[in-house]
Amino acid sequence: MKILVTGGAGFIGSHVVDLLIQEGHQIIVVDDLSSGRPSNLNPSATFYHMDIRDPEMRKLLASEKPEVISHHAAQIDVRRSVADPLFDADVNILGSIRLAELAYQSGVRKFIHISSGGAVYGEPVYLPCDEKHPVQPLCPYGASKFAFELYLYIYKQTYGLDYTILRYPNVYGPRQDPYGEAGVVAIFTGQMLRNQQVRINGSGEQVRDFVYVADCARANLLALNQGSGQVFNLGFGIGTTINQIFEQLKEITKYPLNPIYGPPKAGETFRIFLDANHARQELGWEPRINLGNGLCKTVEYFRQKELVEN
């Protein structure tokens, strides 16, 4: 089928594109390259250098007529959302609503929306968080992601646009930006391989649910024809501290230094991991790559690719 992947030159979106093409689908990528990279683009995809808020998106959908949209394009930086909540809302809420509007007008069958299991729940009432957990985000990013979830429900009820929502955990793996503001595995790996000082924000006892990027890409494949009108957490259901991530990467990379600690980031949840039983039961999804293997794969990628290119 023909599938439009927004953010398809980005870290996670590019892995989704690769898998969908591998499975025989025809892929269109829309990406403004604000954080995505041309080097991530699959040469078999049709690429449009465009922001999802661009008025030309109407013509694009009318001419390409995708059957499914996999919506990965977003403002993803928690700290930027705290500093500039209007920009965060303009991209993640208004930009996404414009895309949903065009989707139903253009006859798109299904809209797969990437939300954030790490941000929408806020500080958990219980762990692991399932989809029935109260939504009480601590940052504008989490609020904007959840707000558009509500709009998708309305678009299905009112206009008949089907959807599936995937709430991602902390995703890591090849192509993640080691110079960005998010993605502790990539940032630590890049610093360790360059023998630079690693800085941990806060105590390092913050807990996250780390899932390898290929596993999240597979959930998008499964959602093409399953999970109508439903929300799914992705995750291992196991928490790992930032200090534990540091120690594992230190051993893999043979990094000789200890970390230094700074103040915690504003707006971030301290402890979160996710119950993915719903995805297991309805989509047949579960993570296949454990943390140790995933970290080794990530370090090897950075050694062979990232350090060479940069």
Fold of 173-208+238-309: UDP-galactose 4-epimerase; domain 1 (3.90.25)
Return the pLDDT at 164.
98
Query: How far apart are alpha carbons 5 and 12 in whole angstroms?
Result: 11
2-171+210-233 has CATH 3.40.50.11720 classification: no
Identify the three-state secondary structure at position 70: strand
Query: How far apart are alpha carbons 123 and 149 in whole angstroms?
Result: 19
**R_g of the chain computed on alpha carbons:** 19
Pinpoint the residues of the chain covered by CATH 3.90.25.10: 173-208+238-309
Query: How far apart are alpha carbons 156 and 243 in whole angstroms?
Result: 42
Query: How far apart are alpha carbons 120 and 106 in whole angstroms?
Result: 30
pLDDT tens over the chain, length 310 residues: 999 999 999 999 999 999 999 999 999 999 999 999 999 999 999 999 999 999 999 999 999 999 999 999 999 888 899 999 999 999 999 999 999 999 999 999 999 999 999 999 999 999 999 999 999 999 999 999 999 999 999 999 999 999 999 999 999 999 999 887 669 999 999 999 999 999 999 999 999 999 999 999 999 999 999 999 999 999 999 999 999 999 999 999 999 999 999 999 877 889 999 999 999 999 999 999 999 999 999 999 999 986 545 4
Contact predicate 172/209, CB 8 Å: no
Pinpoint the residues of the chain covered by CATH 3.40.50.720: 2-171+210-233
* pTM of the complete model: 0.95
Asked if 153 is an active-site residue, the reply is: no
Residues 6+ apart with CB under 8 A from 22: none
Query: How far apart are alpha carbons 161 and 38 in whole angstroms?
Result: 31
Q: Choose the catalytic residue: 141, 155, 168, 255.
A: 141
- φ, ψ for residue 304, nearest 5 deg: -85, -30
Return the pLDDT at 77.
87
Query: How far apart are alpha carbons 55 and 65 in whole angstroms?
Result: 16
- Distances in whole angstroms, Cα of residue 239 to Cα of each of 144, 205, 271, 286: 25, 10, 8, 16
Contact predicate 168/116, CB 8 Å: yes
